[in-house]
Amino acid sequence: MRPFLHVLRRFFLAVLVASPLQAQAPAATPAATPQPVAVSRLWYERLSLRGYAQIRYNRLLESNSALVCAQCDRSIGNNGGFFLRRGRLILSGNVHPRVAIYIQPDFGSDAAGSLHYLQLRDAYFDVSLNDDRSHRIRIGQSKVPFGFENLQSSSNRLPLDRSDALNSAMPNERDIGVNYYWSPPVAQKRFRILTDSGHKGTGDYGVFGFGLTNGQTANRPEANNALHAVARVTYPWRLANGQFIETSIQGYHGRFVVPTKSTSTTMRPEYLDERVAASFVWYAQPFGLEAEYNWGKGPEFASGPDRIDTRALSGGFVQAMYAIHAKGQRVQPFARWQEYHGGKKVELDARHYAVHEVEAGIEWQPYPAFELTAQYTVSDRLFEDAAAIGKREKGHFLRLQAQINY
């Protein structure tokens, strides 16, 4: 019996050794390493909420209360007081590796001058055509790629208002349509540096951009059957010493319908609306220089026959600035000269303007959440429509703005 059991035991041992499970088992099994479990991110983890607000007062050292600027700041001049120029909330984020959203309402003033009026500024959606996002399609209401200062956020710009010359092309800087942007990875990186490092860049609107828009500007319905076409080429150069320079050329073409006219003014159904502009930016490191100029044709009031014609226009600005960084604070003095001769298409009768203005100021940012700007303006403005022929105002005033970033 004992020899039989001995043989049986040896038989079972041989079977176990030859078992496939035993043959595949490692000689020594290490401790198991926990593997990450993929969990889909919730909607509030994919989106961010941020914004800024600007509160102004423009009446200090004022020499002429009749000097106003409808395009710039409606609280300038007579009956102006403390003013919430902008109150922005920005909802943005990547809802898919190739899809991003950007929605920005504003609680400032509306076109009629009402205060704290909720309106839409941006509502666009970027669809990337490749993994590195160098090719993007932007759909919705967004900034039109025309002019460096127009694309620069008002939270970054040094002067309190955009220049008349470039901004008269795109009041509110925005329109609804479709844009294509191309930015190679090296340019994407430089655009990001110019915004994140406090150099007051525009962000990434492409090295090349092309778009089709309604052409009536932001929050206005289309008024004819013609789209506006716009194109822009820009590049952020970086010198061997680290100095950034950006050069741009841009232009657009379309047919525009003037929204309002006086009862005595003769007006055609639509007008040629086209411009070309050149931009140059030597970023403040620490000295900076910015210049833009544009030429074109557009609707403009002509006082003799009291009618709106397609007329030539031109204008631009030159700005100098200096950046001082000390003890975590930033101080930037600046000065700007600007001129503009032409019409403003969205105003009554496409008002005729002749603007000559000099501004000097200083921006102080003691910490990222707060900025204070003081700006002294000397202005000479001729602006006329059928109700105000030959209206010209000169004057100077000191302006203050507090900006809160959140």
What is the residue-wise DSSP string for 44-102? Answer: HHHEEEEEEEEEEEEEET-S-TT---TTT-TTSSTT--SEEEEEEEEEEEEEETTEEEE
304: left (phi over 0), alpha (psi -120 to 50) or beta: alpha
The reply to whether 37 falls in a domain is no
What is the model's pLDDT at position 18?
41
- Which residues pair with residue 385 across a beta bridge? 388
What is the model's pLDDT at position 70?
86
The reply to whether 1 falls in a domain is no
**SS3 for 187?**
helix
Amino acid at 44: Y
137: left (phi over 0), alpha (psi -120 to 50) or beta: beta
Split into its structural domains, the chain has a count of 1
Domain that holds residue 135: 45-405
Structure tokens at 339: 């001129």
What is the model's pLDDT at position 77?
94
Tens-digit pLDDT string for the chain (406 aa) = 444 444 444 543 443 334 333 333 334 434 444 444 444 577 778 999 999 999 999 999 999 999 999 889 999 999 999 999 999 999 999 999 999 999 999 998 766 667 788 899 999 999 999 999 999 999 999 999 999 999 999 999 999 999 999 999 999 999 999 999 999 999 999 999 999 988 999 999 999 999 999 999 999 999 999 999 999 999 999 999 999 999 999 999 999 999 999 999 999 999 999 999 999 999 999 999 999 999 999 999 998 889 999 999 999 999 999 999 998 999 999 999 999 999 999 999 999 999 999 999 999 999 999 999 999 999 999 999 999 999 999 999 999 999 999 9
What is the model's pLDDT at position 88?
97
- Which residues pair with residue 183 across a beta bridge? none
**Integer Cα distance of 280 and 297 in angstroms:** 22
**Integer Cα distance of 351 and 123 in angstroms:** 30
What is the model's pLDDT at position 3?
45
What is the model's pLDDT at position 239?
98
The values of phi and psi at residue 241, to 5°, are -85, 5
What is the model's pLDDT at position 232?
98
Read off the pTM: 0.87
The reply to whether 9 falls in a domain is no
The reply to whether 76 falls in a domain is yes
**Type and span of the H or E element at 15:** helix 2-18
Q: Cα–chain-centroid distance for residue 239? A: 25
**Integer Cα distance of 340 and 95 in angstroms:** 43
**Integer Cα distance of 299 and 351 in angstroms:** 9
The reply to whether 181 falls in a domain is yes
Domain with 92 in it: what CATH number?
2.40.160.10
